[in-house]
């Protein structure tokens, strides 16, 4: 019986090998759905992530900065003169108008006549007539007293002369002679007193008679002429028509429009930083260019003014002198509106950032710095600002890119992309 020959073909894999290969393939098949799920989730997460925020950026620079305090102002004539009535009377009509030129000591402004005597009512007239009759009676009484004094004086003189004649013979004593001399002197003094009393009585009669009369007040002798005290123009006519005025009544206001100053109404918190001698720019005055001026005085007292929004504000008057105004600035007059810009701070070679790049959180200024496509919040120590540029003490350096007017959605670490300058 023949023996079976061994199979020359490769032997089949052992059973355990086939089981291992089947397990690996099964695991791969099981992992594929999970891998697909993970990739889908990653794709969805990538697709749903926030898009980069478009922002406008600007570079921090270095340069000079001048900080101004800007506010409304008015021109005003430095020295103003009010012409008033020197005495009570009837003022003649003023022929001058506002803007008319006047010369010191030459131009006649107006004239004042004395006030006419008022009319008497029946009762006042009766009282005046009675007073006149009383004064006339007193004068006649004094005249009689003078006549009696004159007679007594004549008698005393004759008696003195007789005593002197007899006294030469030595028949009278010294006392009798002295008594006659003194008596003559006394009678002479009484006569002179009576003469003065008669003059007083005559004046009183004239005074009482004048109360009944109405003498005319017109005439060059009684008229007071008012002439201009200074050269300039008439600014205002307070009293134009002819009328009765009291002493001290304002009539005209005169000033020189070439002698102008600027009166700026500055908020009190801004006026604290202003000093005499600070440079001032006058703009929006009605002409081309900018007028230059200097601060002359900051008034020490503030006043309350209600703004256009109804807010009460404390303001201070700052007086400024114009420096070499151009010819067309001579058209400026009294109380013309202008805009003033007073330089209160100036820095050279300082770090500058746009004011729109800074914002406040709490009491500290911040800015968003663009770094690696992300917005990085940085604290900034900001200095004086002119409203457009702000000086930076620390926190930013020249060349840094900061976000200009960052949107509210930007936070620290937000992805941002700079907007093209052409957009």
Q: Which numeric CATH code is attached to 96-115+218-255?
A: 2.40.50
The answer, yes or no, to whether residue 347 has pLDDT greater than 50, is yes
Within 10 Å of residue 15's Cβ, how many Cβ atoms? Answer: 7
Within 10 Å of residue 53's Cβ, how many Cβ atoms? Answer: 17
> What is the per-residue pLDDT across 228-249, written as a single tens digit (0 to 9) for each?
999 999 999 999 999 989 999 9
How many Å apart are CA 197 and CA 176, to the nearest integer?
32
> What is the per-residue pLDDT across 129-179, written as a single tens digit (0 to 9) for each?
888 888 889 889 989 988 888 888 888 888 888 877 776 555 667 787 778
What fold, for 54-66+348-418?
2.40.420
β-pairing, 416-418 vs 53-59, is: parallel
| CA-to-CA separations, 185 to 44, 112, 169, 182, 245, in angstroms, rounded | 145, 53, 24, 5, 55
Q: Does domain 69-75+257-346 have CATH number 2.40.30.170?
A: yes
Q: For position 163, what pLDDT does the model report?
A: 78
Asked if residue 348 lies in contact with residue 62, where contact means CB atoms within 8 angstroms, the answer is: no
Whether the full predicted model's pTM is greater than 0.75, yes or no, is no
> What is the per-residue pLDDT across 35-53, written as a single tens digit (0 to 9) for each?
777 777 777 666 555 667 8
- Residue 2's pLDDT band (boundaries 50, 70, 90)? very low
């Amino acid at each position: 019986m023949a023996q079976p020959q061994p199979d020359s073909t490769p032997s089949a894999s052992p059973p355990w090998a086939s089981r291992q290969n089947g397990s690996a393939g099964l695991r791969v098949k099981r992992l594929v759905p999970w891998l697909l799920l993970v990739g889908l989730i990653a794709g969805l997460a990538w697709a749903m992530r926030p898009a980069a925020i478009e922002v406008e950026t600007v570079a921090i620079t270095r340069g000079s900065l001048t900080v101004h305090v800007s506010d409304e102002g008015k021109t005003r004539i430095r020295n103003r003169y009010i012409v008033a009535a020197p005495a009570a009377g009837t003022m003649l009509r003023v022929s001058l108008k506002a803007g008319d030129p006047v010369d010191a000591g030459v131009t006649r402004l107006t004239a004042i006549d004395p006030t006419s005597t008022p009319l008497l009512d029946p009762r006042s007239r009766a009282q005046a007539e009675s007073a006149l009759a009383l004064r006339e009676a007193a004068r006649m009484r004094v005249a009689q007293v003078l006549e009696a004094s004159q007679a007594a004086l004549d008698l005393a003189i004759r008696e003195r002369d007789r005593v002197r004649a007899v006294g030469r013979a030595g028949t009278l004593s010294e006392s009798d002679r002295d008594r006659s001399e003194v008596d003559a002197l006394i009678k002479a003094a009484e006569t002179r007193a009576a003469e003065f009393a008669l003059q007083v009585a005559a004046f009183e009669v004239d005074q009482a008679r004048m109360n009944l009369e109405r003498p005319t007040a017109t005439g060059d002798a009684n008229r007071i002429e008012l002439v201009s005290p200074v050269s300039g123009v008439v600014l205002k006519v307070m009293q134009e028509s002819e009328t009765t005025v009291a002493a001290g009544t304002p009539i005209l206001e005169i000033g020189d429009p070439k002698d102008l100053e600027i009166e700026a109404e500055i908020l009190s918190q801004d006026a604290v930083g202003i000093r005499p001698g600070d440079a001032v720019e006058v703009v929006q005055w009605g002409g081309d260019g900018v007028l230059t001026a200097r601060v002359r005085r900051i008034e020490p007292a503030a006043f309350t003014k209600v703004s256009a929004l109804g807010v009460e504000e404390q303001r201070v008057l700052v007086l400024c002198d114009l420096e070499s105004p151009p010819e067309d600035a001579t058209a400026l007059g009294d109380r013309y509106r202008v805009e003033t810009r007073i330089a209160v701070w100036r820095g050279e070679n300082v770090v500058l950032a746009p004011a729109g790049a800074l914002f406040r959180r709490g009491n500290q200024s911040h800015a968003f710095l663009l770094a690696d496509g992300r917005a990085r919040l940085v604290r900034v120590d900001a200095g004086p600002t002119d409203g457009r540029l702000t000086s930076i003490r620390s926190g930013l350096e020249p060349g840094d890119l900061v976000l200009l007017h960052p949107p509210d959605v930007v936070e620290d670490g937000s992805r941002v992309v700079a907007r093209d300058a052409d957009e």
